[in-house]
Amino acid sequence: MNKAFAPEKSSPNIEKGAKNTDKTGPKPRKKISVHYLENSGAYYLQRFAASTAQFRKVMKRKIDLSCRDHPDQNKETCYRMLDDLVSKFTSLGYLNDAAYASGLIYSLTQRGLSRQRILYSLKLKGLSDECIEAAMPDADAGHEFLMAVRFCKKKKIGPYSLRADDEARSLSSLARGGFSYDLARRAILLDKDEAEELLAGL
């Protein structure tokens, strides 16, 4: 018989008719413990800035997945471990919603987002109304106009657009950014030199 077409021999370690139990599926997740939660939580916060609510959401998902793989675990007990961890990380300063809110406001302001969009983003992060109110600067129409101009520069619209017939697109983009029609129209009617002069004062 031609060796190229010889039938494959069955493995001598597998009896005829026996099932191969060598499966390479995902390994079960680790069981929840105080030590595991603390290490996992610290590692997450080293990589990502997070509000307390975000941190809870991420860690609760870890608990839920672990309890799914290990039904013998008591989920409520694991949640209480998480409560203790949040208290510990808050006292150590690893979780600080006030500082997180201030940093996020600064970052979003640098992007030229409107006050409305910034407030929306803060709420999405699970920050409390009290925390947001304390961190947000007072409403200032002049500052909001400067944010609209900065937004134009970031998006290359209005005074920074290379197209002469760009008014509708610019107004639409500013509206999505949370700016009012009147404010948006004032911003796009500036010429580039005027816009640059205004932004130089920021």
Report pLDDT digits (tens) over 61-105.
Answer: 999 999 999 999 999 999 999 999 999 999 999 999 999 999 999
d(CA 11, CA 38): 46
Local structure of 16: helix, strand or coil: coil
H helix runs in 21-166, sequence order: 34-47, 52-69, 75-92, 97-110, 115-124, 129-135, 141-155
* Mean pLDDT, 10 residues at a time, the chain of 202 residues: 46 45 69 95 96 97 94 95 97 96 92 90 95 89 91 92 80 91 93 91 70
Amino acid at 188: I
Q: Cβ contacts of residue 201 below 8 Å, gap of 6+?
A: 146
Local structure of 31: helix, strand or coil: coil
pTM of the model: 0.71
Average pLDDT, the chain: 87
Structure tokens at 101: 């809110």
The predicted pLDDT at position 10 comes to 44
The predicted pLDDT at position 165 comes to 65
Q: Among candidates 165, 161, 202, which has minimal Cα distance to 187? A: 161
The predicted pLDDT at position 48 comes to 95
